Structure 1
Amino acid sequence: MIEGKKIMIRQLELGDEEYLYKWWNTGEMMEHATHVFGVLQSKQTIQDSIKRETENTNLFPENKRFLICKKDSFEPIGEMNYVGWNARNQKCEFGIKICEVGEQGKGYGKDALYHFIDFLFRFLNLNKIELTSMKDNIRAHNLYKSLGFKEIGIIREACFDSRIGQFSDVVYMDLLKREWIQIKGRI
């Protein structure tokens, strides 16, 4: 497990489909990712996905999901993942959501992200972490910048946005390991 000051990050387990089903199928929760109706996946589909992931014995899988839990109660409040781990180019992309709306804005996301970034650089021996975010997700951009991410550019009309029924721009950001090493103690 990855331990922060306020959070614990743990691997997904069978049974966690209950949380993901609730979170992923709530339009309010998934709206920032352009899924205004949620992802419309069944509990069984999510459970099957978790089962495949937990049965993967590869120590360094290309994609991996985690739950964010409050440290004091171990109550799940969100999720994070990395995707597209590329060993040759030493990079991957990540995602994070504090899914329990009442727990947002309390510092859990920053704490989780700080420790997850450090984990990714150290465990996967990365040189770079990348992310994309909808252009209008200013709150997320501010969080990423506070942890050292740099805005690299805009990917024009990169994502179909069901909120407005048309394609929208996406912000591309990244963080290099050498930059992380310089700033992590100051955050």
Structure 2
Amino acid sequence: LSFLESSVLLSMAFDRFVAICRPLHYASILTHTVIGRIGLASLGRSVALIFPLPFMLKRFPYCGSPVLSHSYCLHQEVMKLACADIKANSIYGMFVIVSTVGIDSLLILFSYVLILRTVLSIASRAERLKALNTCVSHISAVLLFYTPMIGLSVIHRFGKHTPHLVQVIMGFVYLLFPPLMNPIVYSVKTKQIRDRVTHVFCY
């Protein structure tokens, strides 16, 4: 689901790119067929990359402590409990991260470079702000998703002496923070919701 969410964020970046850089061709580029294919490709990539991991873990003998730091089976953590050479798992895990989160984040960054270039070429300051305002929610969602994921990955790969509590907290932040904050990020721009929240807290 995390890799699928990464694909969704990339698809949304492409949507913003087409809407701002090719507005007259939006309907002809993003047809229902294209959107369906993007969805199927995103789902297929996520399933294909994650499918081998349980089988790669199952072949190991385990002799480490059975206590995990997180409320879910994180591949990097489970493979460290094995009493065997985990080099293949480590390389494949890195390949999965690079081919999903790594590529997606670079493409999202590239799309926003193109968007920014297009926006800066708009003569009217008001129109520039209006165009950039349509991207604020998506940029926030991207930061909310990638920041905890990168932090958790860094802790497990390089923070061997990190306190156990930090790993537990980072695991919960990665698991719970993005889905809890996304509705707020996307609803705060809706005028009716803003007015209702303001009414509740101010009266």
- TM-score of the aligned structures, taking structure 2 as reference length: 0.23
Higher relative contact order (CA 8 A, sep 6+): 2
From the CA coordinates, give the structure whose radius of gyration is larger: 2
Identify the structure with the greater strand proportion.
Answer: 1
Identify the structure with the greater helix proportion.
Answer: 2
